[in-house]
Amino acid sequence: MNAQQLKAVRLRRRTLSTRSHLRKNSSLPRLSVFRSTKHISAQVIDDSTGRTLCAVTTTAKSLAGDLTGKSKSQRAAFLGAEIAKRAKAAGIEAVVFDRGPCRYHGRVKALAEAAREAGLKF
Q: What is the CATH number of the domain that holds 43?
A: 3.30.420.100
Q: Is the dihedral of CA 80, 82, 88, 90 positive or negative?
A: negative
Give the pLDDT of residue 78.
98
Give the pLDDT of residue 8.
95
Cα separations in angstroms, 56 against 25, 32, 41, 80: 25, 11, 6, 9
Whether the pLDDT of residue 85 is over 90: the answer is yes
Residue 122 included in any domain: no
Give the pLDDT of residue 23.
84
The helix/strand/coil state of 100 is: coil
How confident is the prediction for the chain on average, in pLDDT? 95
Whether the pLDDT of residue 1 is over 90: the answer is no
Whether the pLDDT of residue 3 is over 90: the answer is yes
Q: Where are the beta strands (DSSP E) in the chain?
A: 30-35, 40-46, 51-57, 96-98
Whether the pLDDT of residue 98 is over 90: the answer is yes
Q: Which of 38, 28, 15, 45 is nearest to 93 (CA)?
A: 28
Query: Around 109, how many Cα atoms within 13 Å sit in the side-chain half-sphere?
Result: 4
Residue 8 included in any domain: yes
pLDDT tens digits, one per residue of 22-65: 888 888 999 999 999 999 999 999 988 999 999 999 999 999 99
Residue 11 included in any domain: yes
Give the pLDDT of residue 103.
94
The residue type at 78: F
State the residue range of the domain holding 72.
3-117
Structurally, the chain folds into a number of domains equal to 1
Percent of the chain with pLDDT over 90: 89
Give the pLDDT of residue 26.
83
The residue type at 30: R
